[in-house]
Amino acid sequence: MIDPQTTYTACQLANALQVSPRTIERHRRRGVPVAGELLRLPARRIGKVWRFAGREVLDWLAAQQPRDREGDASPTRTLAAPAQRRRLVDQELRALGLKS
């Protein structure tokens, strides 16, 4: 769990997010593609060590969540199961008059 009031090193943040420190460094340097642009993990260099503010990390993670049509983040949105996808496709085909 990321505490918004805490500042993390790359190793501490990697541990909290259950990824490797190399992944944290890669996201800090290169970023993650979001909506056609690269969104870099915000960090500040203090001496020789990069530090990550908990609040900024949480905001960065939230910016990567898929958004619905109204622009609200939908973190619980998942891909539909195959049977559910088929029902949705059938409903849309019926609405378009392409299937009875």
Is 2 inside any structural domain? no
Is 90 inside any structural domain? yes
What pLDDT was estimated at residue 34? Answer: 83
Number of domains forming the structure of the chain: 1
Is 52 inside any structural domain? yes
Kindly report, residue by residue over 21-45, the tens digit of the pLDDT: 999 999 999 998 887 888 999 999 9
Output Rg (C-alpha) for the chain, integer angstroms.
19
0.75 exceeded by pTM = no
Kindly report, residue by residue over 55-75, the tens digit of the pLDDT: 999 999 988 876 655 555 544
Is 44 inside any structural domain? yes
Q: Give the residue numbers spanning the domain of 24.
A: 7-68+77-95
What pLDDT was estimated at residue 27? Answer: 94
Q: What is the mean pLDDT of residues 46-50?
A: 94
**Average pLDDT of the chain to the nearest whole number:** 82
Is 57 inside any structural domain? yes
Cβ 49 vs Cβ 43: under 8 Å? no
Is 59 inside any structural domain? yes
Question: Exposed, middle or buried: residue 18 (CB in 10 Å: 0-12, 13-18, 19+)?
Answer: exposed
Is 1 inside any structural domain? no
Is 26 inside any structural domain? yes
